[in-house]
Amino acid sequence: MGRIHVQKKNPKAIENEEKKGTKTKMSGSERSAYFARRESAKILKVVLEGDAKRCALASIKSLIYKPSVRNKKATFAIICQTLKHLPIIKHVLDSSSILNSKWKRQEELIYIIVYDILFGQAISLVGDAEKYLVRHKEALHSSLKQLMIQRKVKDVKQLVALHQVPDVSLPRYVRVNTLKLDVDSALLQLREKYSVQKDDLLSDLLILPPGTDLHDHPLVKNGSIFLQGKASSMVAPALSPEPGWEVLDACAAPGNKTVHLAALMKRKGRIIAYCSYNVTMIIDHFHFVLLPFKLNSSSDIQALNEDFLNIDPKAPSYSKIQAILLDPSCSGSGTAATRLDHLLPSKAEGQDTDIERLNKLSAFQRKALEHALLFPAVERIVYSTCSIHQIENEDVIQSVLPLAESYGFKLANPFPEWECRGLPVFEGSENLVRTDPAKHGEGFFIALFARKDETTTPHNSTRTRNLQKKKSIVPFIRPNLFNMWLYGQLNRHGCMDKCCSGRHRRDTTTD
Ligand SMILES: C[S@@+](CC[C@H](N)C(=O)[O-])C[C@H]1O[C@@H](n2cnc3c(N)ncnc32)[C@H](O)[C@@H]1O
C-alpha cells in the first residue's frame, strides 16, 4: 500500500456547500433513513452516556423496544452495527480531524453516518450531517487505510475481527402464560408464522429461531406469552410450589417470576410478593404485571411495596409460608449479552468488574438468604441470580450452608439432568445449577434448599427421570471460563487475577 494523502477542504467552502444542500427535497426512502439515523442517535447517546458513567438507566434492548421507537428493526441494526465498529470509527474520526465543535456536539449521529460511509451501504445520505461527512469521505477512507497499515491487516474484515465481540445468535425462547393460554394453543398459533419447538426441560417453554421478533405479536401484547429466556424460566419450576401453598416472592419486581409461580400453582394458594425499589416506573410495572391476577377469588397475589429484610418472619401472617423465591438484586453479569451489553465500550475494554459493588451485592444476598431461612414453616427456598460471578453464587451458598443445615435444610437438586453445575468449591456444589451465557443465552445460578425429606426433586420431568441414572454430573460453566477458574487464572470475582492483584478484597464477613 502506497502513501496516503488526506485532502482537506477549506472550512468556509464546506459550510457554504452544506447550507445549499439542506434545501433539497427528500424521497420516501431518504426520509425514513434520515429519521432512523436520528432516532438511533438519540438511543445511542443514552447508551454511551450510561456506559461512560457505568450507570445505565436501561439496557440497549429495552431502549430500542420502547413503544415510542418507530422503526425498531432499523434502529436495532443501526445501533448494533455502530457499536460493533465504534473503536474503529472513533479512531478514524480522531485521525482525520474533520469534526469541528458543531459536529462534535452530535457525535452519536456522526458515528452512525460514518459507519454507513465506511462499512455500510452509504445510501440515502441526505441531511446536513450526512452531506458534511460525504464531502469528507476520502479523508475518512484514508484514515481507515492508515489504521489498517498500523494494525498490519490486509482488509477491513481483518480489522473488524481484531475488535470482534461475541455473536449472540441464540434461539428466541417464549414462556407460555398458562394462566391465559395452554401450551398447545400457543404452539398452534405461533406455528402459523414461525418454526416452533417445545423445550424438553420446561413444559411451558417454546423455542423459536434466533432473531425472531415477537415484540408486536398479539400473544405478547395480550400477555399470553412472555419473551423470557430459558434460564430465567427455570427459577420458578426449581421451587415448584404446590397448588394451595403459601409462597413468598422476596425480591419480586418487576414480577415475571411471581406470575410464573401463580401459573405453576394453578391459581390456587397465596403469593406475597415484595418489591422494595422506590422507583415509580418499576413499581408501576410490577403492579401492571400482577394486576390481572390480583383479584382472582381462588388465588391471591398480594404485591407489597416493602423491604423483605424488614419483615418479621415470626409474625403470625407468615406462619404458613411454605416456599420462598429469593431472586435478589445482583450484578446482572449473566444477562449482559441478551441486553447487548457486550457491545458497550466499557465491556470491550474489559473494565466491567467493579469489585466493590460485587462485595456489597454479595453481602446483601447473603443477608437476604439468611433472613429467608428464618420463616418457621418454609420447606423450600430457591436462591437465584443472573450473575456469573462466584462471589454472588457459590460463595453465598457456601457461607449460608452451615446455618441452613442447623435449621434442617439440605441442598436439593432441582434439575438432575442439567449438565451445567455449580463450581466445585465445596462439597454439595454439584446440586447447584448454572446456565452458560454462550450456550443458553443467559448466565443464571439457581440453588434449592429443601427441608424435611425433599431428596427427590420437585421438578421431575420424564426426561429427568430417564436421564437421572445415565448422566454423570460435571461442574460446568463455559469451558474456557471454567478452565481459567480451574487453573487459577480467574478469581472468585470472575476476573483475571492480574486485574484484582490484591487491590480488591472481599468483605471479611463472607470469608
Ligand atoms: C433480580 S430483580 C428480581 C426480578 C424478579 N424476580 C422477576 O423475575 O421479575 C431483584 C429485585 O429485588 C428488588 N429488591 C432489592 N432489595 C430488596 C429488598 N430488600 N426487598 C424487596 N425487594 C428488593 C430490586 O428492586 C429488584 O427489583
Task: Mark whether 258 and 402 lie in a shared domain.
Answer: yes
- Is the model's pLDDT at 326 over the cut of 90? yes
Q: Which amino acid is at 60?
A: I
Site to probe by mutation for ligand 1, drawn from 276, 281, 364, 393 as the one with most ligand atoms within 8 Å of Cβ, is 276
130 or 324, greater pLDDT: 324
What is the Å distance from ligand 1's center to 83 Cα?
Answer: 30
Task: Mark whether 69 and 193 lie in a shared domain.
Answer: no
- Do residues 315 and 322 lie in contact, with contact meaning Cβ atoms separated by under 8 Å? no
Task: Mark whether 348 and 383 lie in a shared domain.
Answer: yes
Q: Is residue 436 included in any domain, yes or no?
A: yes
CA atoms within 13 A on the CB side of 76: 14
pLDDT band for 138, please (50, 70, 90 cuts). Answer: very high
What's residue 3's pLDDT?
A: 35
What is the Å distance from ligand 1's center to 493 Cα?
Answer: 22
pLDDT band for 280, please (50, 70, 90 cuts). Answer: low
Q: Which amino acid is at 360?
A: K
The closest-lying atom of ligand 1 relative to the alpha carbon of residue 386 is 1
Task: Mark whether 354 and 292 lie in a shared domain.
Answer: yes
pLDDT band for 348, please (50, 70, 90 cuts). Answer: low
CATH assignment of the domain containing 464: 3.40.50.150
- Mean pLDDT confidence for 154-164: 74
pLDDT band for 83, please (50, 70, 90 cuts). Answer: confident
Told to judge if 495 belongs to the known catalytic residues of this protein, a careful annotator would answer: no
486 or 152, greater pLDDT: 152
What's residue 110's pLDDT?
A: 93
475 or 481, greater pLDDT: 481
Of 141, 131, 138, 91, whose CA–CA distance to 111 is shortest? 91
Q: Is residue 5 included in any domain, yes or no?
A: no
> What DSSP assignment string belongs to 239-282?
H-PPTT-EEEETT-TT-HHHHHHHHHTTT-EEEEEE-----HHH
Task: Mark whether 239 and 224 lie in a shared domain.
Answer: no
CATH assignment of the domain containing 18: 1.10.940
CATH assignment of the domain containing 185: 3.30.70.1170
From 127, 162, 197, the end of a domain falls on: 162
What's residue 502's pLDDT?
A: 32
CA distances from 275 to 167, 258, 282, 286 (A): 34, 11, 9, 8
- Is the model's pLDDT at 140 over the cut of 90? yes
> What DSSP assignment string belongs to 6-35?
-----HHHHHHHHHHHTTSPP-HHHHHHHH
Query: Residues 106-115: pLDDT tens digits?
Result: 999 999 999 9
From 206, 228, 250, the end of a domain falls on: 228
Alpha carbon distance 49, 51 (integer Å): 5
Least confident of 187-191, 256-260, 280-284: 280-284
Task: Mark whether 332 and 191 lie in a shared domain.
Answer: no
Task: Mark whether 221 and 262 lie in a shared domain.
Answer: no
Least confident of 161-170, 391-400, 439-448: 161-170
> What DSSP assignment string belongs to 32-100?
HHHHHHHHHHHHHHHHHHHHHTT--SS-HHHHHTSTT-S-HHHHHHHHHHHHHHHHHHHHHHHHHT---
Alpha carbon distance 232, 335 (integer Å): 10
Host domain of residue 373: 231-510
Site to probe by mutation for ligand 1, drawn from 329, 369, 385, 446 as the one with most ligand atoms within 8 Å of Cβ, is 329
Alpha carbon distance 140, 85 (integer Å): 14
Show the DSSP H helices in 432-476 as ranges: 437-440, 462-470
pLDDT band for 169, please (50, 70, 90 cuts). Answer: low
Mean pLDDT of the chain: 78
Ligand 1 binding pocket (C-beta < 6 A) is: 251-257, 274-277, 282, 307-309, 327-329
- Is the model's pLDDT at 50 over the cut of 90? no
Q: What percentage of the chain reaches a pLDDT higher than 90?
A: 41
Task: Mark whether 382 and 452 lie in a shared domain.
Answer: yes
Q: Which amino acid is at 272?
A: I
85 or 378, greater pLDDT: 378
Task: Mark whether 325 and 289 lie in a shared domain.
Answer: yes
- Do residues 159 and 153 lie in contact, with contact meaning Cβ atoms separated by under 8 Å? yes
Query: Residues 185-197: pLDDT tens digits?
Result: 999 999 999 999 9
Q: Is residue 247 included in any domain, yes or no?
A: yes
Q: Is residue 6 included in any domain, yes or no?
A: no
Q: Is residue 69 included in any domain, yes or no?
A: yes
Task: Mark whether 93 and 176 lie in a shared domain.
Answer: no
Active-site entry in 386, 420, 495, 500: 386
Instruction: Dig out the grid coordinates for 390 from the structure.
Output: 462466584
What's residue 441's pLDDT?
A: 78
Task: Mark whether 83 and 36 lie in a shared domain.
Answer: yes
pLDDT band for 288, please (50, 70, 90 cuts). Answer: low
Task: Mark whether 262 and 340 lie in a shared domain.
Answer: yes
The complex's ipTM works out to 0.99
E-strand stretches of 351-493: 380-385, 409-412, 433-434, 445-451
Instruction: Dig out the grid coordinates for 426 from the structure.
Output: 465445596
Q: Is residue 411 included in any domain, yes or no?
A: yes
Q: Is residue 1 included in any domain, yes or no?
A: no
- Mean pLDDT confidence for 324-353: 70
Binding residues for S-adenosyl-L-methionine: 251-257, 307, 327
Q: Is residue 4 included in any domain, yes or no?
A: no
Counted domains in the chain? 3
